[in-house]
Structure 1
Amino acid sequence: MGKALEISDLKRMARRRVPKLFFDYADSGAYSESTYRANESDFAKIKLRQRVMVDMTNRSLTTTMIGQPVSMPVALSPTGLTGMQHADGEMLAAQAAEEFGVPFALSTMSICSIEDVASATKKPFWFQLYVMKDRDFIANLIERARAANCSALILTADLQILGQRHKDLRNSLSAPPKLTPKHLFQMAMRPRWCWDMLHTQRRTFRNIHGHAKNVSDLSSLGAWTAEQFDPQLSWKDVEWVKKLWGGKLIIKGILDPEDARMAAETGADAIIVSNHGGRQLDSAHSSIAMLPRIVDAVGDKVEIHMDGGIRSGGDVLKAVALGAKGTYIGRPFLYGLGAGGKQGVTTALEIIRKELDITMALCGKRRITEIDRDIIAESPF
Structure 2
Amino acid sequence: MNADLLRYDSRYPSVQDLKRKAKQRIPKFAFDYLEGGCNDELNLWRNEADFRDIQLMPRYLKKHHGVDMRTELFGHVYDAPFGISPIGLQGLMWPNAPEILARAAIKHNIPYTLSTVSTSSIERIAELTASQFWFQLYHPTDDKLRDDLLRRLEAVGCPVLVVLVDVPSFGLRYREIKAGLSMPPRMNVRNFVQAAVRPAWALETLRVGIPEFATLKPYMGKDLNLSQLGKFMNATFTGRVDSDKVKAIRDRWKGKLVIKGVVCDEDMEESIRLGADGVIVSNHGGRQIDAGESTIKPLRGLTDKYADKMTIMIDSGLRSGPDIGRSLACGANFTFMGRPFMYGVAALGQRGGDHTIAMFKAQLKQVMEQVCCENVVDFPSVLVTK
Measured in 1, the distance between the counterparts of 2:184 and 2:257 equals: 31
In structure 2, the residue matched to 1:351 is: 359
Runs of 4+ in 1 over 4 A off after TM superposition: none
3-state DSSP of counterpart to 1:199: helix
In structure 1, the residue matched to 2:136 is: 128
3-state DSSP of counterpart to 2:161: strand
Q: Does 1:190 align with 2:198?
A: yes
Measured in 2, the distance between the counterparts of 1:189 and 1:166 equals: 23
Q: Taking structure 1 as reference, are residues 347 and 298 closer, same or farther at Cα in structure 2, changes over 3 Å only?
A: same
In structure 1, the residue matched to 2:382 is: 375
Once the two structures are superposed, the pairs formed by residues 24-35 of structure 1 within 5 Å of their partners are 24-35=32-43
Tell me the CA shift for residue 154 of structure 1.
Answer: 0.4
Once the two structures are superposed, the pairs formed by residues 1-381 of structure 1 within 5 Å of their partners are 1-174=9-182, 177-201=185-209, 203-212=211-220, 214=221, 216-219=223-226, 220-372=228-380, 374-379=381-386
Q: Output the TM-score relative to the length of structure 2.
A: 0.94
CA contact (8 A) 1:88 1:202 kept: no
Deviations 1:130-173 (A, max 9, x none): 11211111111111112222110000000111110111111222
Tell me the CA shift for residue 216 of structure 1.
Answer: 4.1
CA contact (8 A) 1:321 1:371 kept: yes
CA contact (8 A) 1:175 1:205 kept: no
Tell me the CA shift for residue 181 of structure 1.
Answer: 1.3
Tell me the CA shift for residue 123 of structure 1.
Answer: 4.4
CA contact (8 A) 1:215 1:224 kept: no
Number of equivalent positions:
377
Unaligned 5+ runs, structure 1? none
CA contact (8 A) 1:114 1:145 kept: yes
Q: Output the TM-score relative to the length of structure 1.
A: 0.95
3-state DSSP of counterpart to 1:254: coil
Q: Taking structure 1 as reference, are residues 362 and 139 closer, same or farther at Cα in structure 2, changes over 3 Å only?
A: same
Measured in 1, the distance between the counterparts of 2:185 and 2:138 equals: 23
Measured in 1, the distance between the counterparts of 2:202 and 2:46 equals: 34
In structure 1, the residue matched to 2:6 is: none
Measured in 2, the distance between the counterparts of 1:215 and 1:246 equals: 33
3-state DSSP of counterpart to 2:181: coil
Counterpart residue type for residue 236 of structure 2: Q
Measured in 2, the distance between the counterparts of 1:243 and 1:215 equals: 33
3-state DSSP of counterpart to 2:260: strand
Q: Taking structure 1 as reference, are residues 83 and 100 closer, same or farther at Cα in structure 2, changes over 3 Å only?
A: same
Q: Say what the alpha-carbon RMSD is for the aligned residues.
A: 1.5
Measured in 2, the distance between the counterparts of 1:176 and 1:30 equals: 18
3-state DSSP of counterpart to 1:80: coil
3-state DSSP of counterpart to 1:246: coil
Moved more, 87-96 or 196-205: 196-205
Counterpart residue type for residue 87 of structure 1: P
CA contact (8 A) 2:167 2:240 kept: no
Tell me the CA shift for residue 355 of structure 1.
Answer: 1.0
Moved more, 70-79 or 109-118: 109-118
3-state DSSP of counterpart to 2:208: coil
Measured in 1, the distance between the counterparts of 2:211 and 2:363 equals: 35
Measured in 2, the distance between the counterparts of 1:6 and 1:272 equals: 25
Measured in 1, the distance between the counterparts of 2:184 and 2:39 equals: 24
